[in-house]
Chains A and B, each alone.
Chain A
Amino acid sequence: MSTTKNGQEISMSRPSVGEAGRTGDWRNDRPVMDATKCLAVKQGRLTCQICWVYCPDGCIAQGIGPVIDLAYCKGCGICAQECPAGAISMEPEADHGTCAIDAATAEEAGR
């Protein structure tokens, strides 16, 4: 942990990955992308990216195709709703066994 004095007079931070905290294990459904349907993948160029535009938590990175960071995804399903190609589907976490928590999240949750 930082030893910086907690002296900031207002709530203000630098936008950065993880600034709003990791999602933890409460997500019900996760987005799963079928790359064969993704327009960017099919055309082999940086196109569409509508999921990246719409993700309210900014946890989708642009790409061919875009990459969803499940450590921060809340499972809202907006990307699945907005994808014009139907490439993203929401699947129950239970179908993926125990929640896919990475090592850092597991450590944080166990504090």
Chain B
Amino acid sequence: MSAPESACAAALATASMEVMTGNDAAATAAKLARVQVIAAYPITPQSPVVEQLSAWVESGELPAEFVTVESEHSALTVCIAASTVGARTFTATSANGLAYMTEQVWWAAGARLPIVMCIANRAMAAPWNVLNDQQDSMSVRDAGWVQLYCRDNQEILDTTLQAYRIAERLHVPVMVCYDGFLLSHTMMPVSVPDAAVIDAWLPKYDHPLTVVDPADPRNIGPVVIADPRADASGEGHGGYMEIRAQLHGALLEVLDVIPKVDSEYGAAVGRQWGGLLWEHMLDDAEVVLVAAGSLGTQLTVAAEKLREEGVKAGVLGIRAYRPFPVAALRGKLAGRKLALVYDKALAYGYEGPICSDLRGCLLGTPDAPAVFGAVCGLGGRDVPVDQLAGAARRALADAEAGLRVRETDWINLHLEG
């Protein structure tokens, strides 16, 4: 976190410091965003987010419609319908709940609806496990949503607010991902901006792409054929590929919008988070440890430990995973010796998703480092700092031995004994 010099001192002065969980930070952000429709189904570790929001709706503190539903599929469907007619919507889920709503995850993106959904990251069954990894959100990385990963509870609150501005500017849905239990159920001090500051920064959403006018009715979301065609009134309409290409274009534009919104938030509220990426001791680093979420915070301790041993280590944190910040990553990693990617997820039968993406985006670029992968923390497996540092030592030894490709390293795995 860094406070820009132009930080709005008044905003910081009117903020209140509270101690809260990551889930409460997410709920507080939704309340500050004055969401109009909330629909969610409870699942560990997300449940407290919607419990808190439903309590506020019940007490009248949050004048929103809270729709209780029988499943996550319906939760997102309610948000889709509400967003289609121009409401600001919020939902949250985890793991199997996200998997259950997957069909509608794709719909929300293809229909260009600026829904914000918090994901308290949790492992996918089987076997059943409610603890943290990032397999759930990684599994829908290609659905056309923006994905932002948070390091701590303050970043959850700030990022959820930023998410609305990003989503509504380009009509794309945004997932705000934070590690289950590690953040969702851990209490931390969080500065809560004054509602008036956020009201001024995040005005009412009033420009849906859909036309909702009984006097000028529309078919919303009719089937499209493969090719562009003229409709019955002679107006040209894109086919599936034209609509999809525009979604992709909007996501690429998000790469410019995320840092802008982060800096606009910094000017209004007094905090910003690095935009697409964040870094720690990166300037002269030869060995760069890469991760998304709270794992990155642990890596800063591992990097400091490695520095004490004389290894020039630094951390590059992925804040925006989708869209993938290709140019920013190339810029940050050119000329380094090694990038070691720590994934809390796995593309089964291949390797960690961030590792694959990073190697792909660096391939063929000048001065690209060797890119190695390590998988850790699946299903809540502890990720001790000394083991993170140990993986970096092994990777560095491999790189210095001239290896450019290598098997994925599994951290803290005990198949025997």
Binding site for B on A (CB under 8 A): 1-21
User: Which 10 pairs of residues, A with B, have the shortest CB-CB distance?
Assistant: A4-B236, A6-B238, A2-B230, A16-B232, A6-B228, A18-B232, A2-B236, A19-B232, A13-B219, A2-B234
CB-based contact A6/B236 at 8 Å = yes
- In the complex, whether B246 has a CB less than 8 A from a CB of chain A is yes
CB-based contact B112/A10 at 8 Å = yes
What residues of chain A lie closer than 8 Å to B250, measured between beta carbons? 9
Q: How far is B219's CA from A11's CA once the two chains are assembled, in angstroms? A: 8
- In the complex, whether B222 has a CB less than 8 A from a CB of chain A is yes
Contact of B237 among A8, A16, A20 (CB under 8 A): A8
What residues of chain B lie closer than 8 Å to A16, measured between beta carbons? 231-233
What residues of chain A lie closer than 8 Å to B221, measured between beta carbons? 10-12
Q: How far is B235's CA from A5's CA once the two chains are assembled, in angstroms? A: 9
What residues of chain B lie closer than 8 Å to A13, measured between beta carbons? 218-219, 222, 231, 237
Binding site for A on B (CB under 8 A): 110-112, 171, 209-211, 216-225, 228, 230-239, 242-243, 246-247, 250
Q: What are 6 contact pairs spanning A and B, CB under 8 A? A: A8-B243, A10-B111, A13-B218, A14-B235, A16-B232, A19-B222
What residues of chain B lie closer than 8 Å to A9, measured between beta carbons? 112, 171, 209, 243, 246-247, 250
Given contacts A6-B238, A7-B238, A19-B219, whether A12 and B210 have CB atoms under 8 Å apart is yes
Q: How far is B250's CA from A3's CA once the two chains are assembled, in angstroms? A: 24
Q: How far is B97's CA from A37's CA once the two chains are assembled, in angstroms? A: 54
Q: How far is B110's CA from A8's CA once the two chains are assembled, in angstroms? A: 12
Q: How far is B231's CA from A17's CA once the two chains are assembled, in angstroms? A: 10
CB-based contact B232/A12 at 8 Å = no
What residues of chain A lie closer than 8 Å to B219, measured between beta carbons? 12-15, 19
Q: Which of A6, A7, A8, A21 counts the most B-chain CB atoms under 10 A from its CB?
A: A6
Q: Shortest beta-carbon distance, A50 to chain B, in Å?
A: 23
Q: Of all chain A residues, which has the CB nearest B216?
A: A14
Q: Shortest beta-carbon distance, B82 to chain A, in Å?
A: 16
Q: How far is B238's CA from A9's CA once the two chains are assembled, in angstroms? A: 8
Q: Of all chain B residues, which has the CB nearest A18?
A: B232
Query: Known pairs A4-B236, A6-B237, A9-B243. 19 more at Cβ < 8 A?
Result: A2-B234, A5-B236, A6-B228, A9-B112, A10-B111, A10-B221, A10-B243, A11-B221, A11-B222, A11-B224, A11-B237, A11-B243, A12-B218, A13-B219, A14-B235, A16-B231, A19-B219, A19-B231, A21-B225
Given contacts A19-B222, A19-B231, whether A12 and B211 have CB atoms under 8 Å apart is yes
What residues of chain B lie closer than 8 Å to A10, measured between beta carbons? 110-112, 209-210, 220-221, 243
Q: Shortest beta-carbon distance, A9 to chain B, in Å?
A: 5
CB-based contact A2/B211 at 8 Å = no
Q: How far is B237's CA from A17's CA once the two chains are assembled, in angstroms? A: 16
Given contacts A9-B171, A10-B243, A19-B222, whether A1 and B231 have CB atoms under 8 Å apart is no
Given contacts A8-B243, A9-B112, A19-B222, whether A14 and B238 have CB atoms under 8 Å apart is no
Q: Shortest beta-carbon distance, A18 to chain B, in Å?
A: 4
Q: How far is B243's CA from A96's CA once the two chains are assembled, in angstroms? A: 41
CB-based contact A14/B217 at 8 Å = yes
CB-based contact B243/A2 at 8 Å = no
What residues of chain B lie closer than 8 Å to A5, measured between beta carbons? 236
Q: Shortest beta-carbon distance, A105 to chain B, in Å?
A: 14
